Amino acid sequence: GAGVSQSPSNKVTEKGKDVELRCDPISGHTALYWYRQSLGQGLEFLIYFQGNSAPDKSGLPSDRFSAERTGGSVSTLTIQRTQQEDSAVYLCASSLVGRGLGNTIYFGEGSWLTVV
């Protein structure tokens, strides 16, 4: 696609429910990132996928968080048993891999999650 697409754009869920957030990266981009940004805070790294390599999960805050990337394209971030502190905007980004000038990182508009 033309840009990174995320859905849903907004999600309100009850505490304890599971949510799935979807990211559709730019076609051909092998690197995909998930970040979280709480209100008024900076970006918190969650997980990084690069091609067929094992993902870097070092940023996932708890075992309630998981992510997968199917077929090297679309990624889904799943939050189980949501808590109020999970309320944030979840940002997805993608890029080419390598050191050339073409590996600019592009972000989606984010999925705003509110846990009530």
Task: Give residues in contact with other proteins (CB under 8 A).
Answer: 31, 33, 35, 41-43, 45, 48, 50, 53, 56, 91, 93, 95, 97, 99, 101, 103-110
Complex with other proteins: residue 20 or 109, whichever CB lies closer: 109
Burial class, 47, CB count within 10 angstroms (exposed 0-12 / middle 13-18 / buried 19+): buried
- Shortest Å, Cβ 38 to other proteins: 12
Q: What is the C-alpha separation between 24 and 5, in angstroms, rounded?
A: 5
Query: Least separation, in Å, of the C-beta of 21 and other proteins?
Result: 13
Dmax over CA atoms of the chain, in Å, equals 44
The answer to whether 69 and 48 have CB atoms below 8 angstroms apart is no
> Which CB sits closer to other proteins, 50 or 80?
50
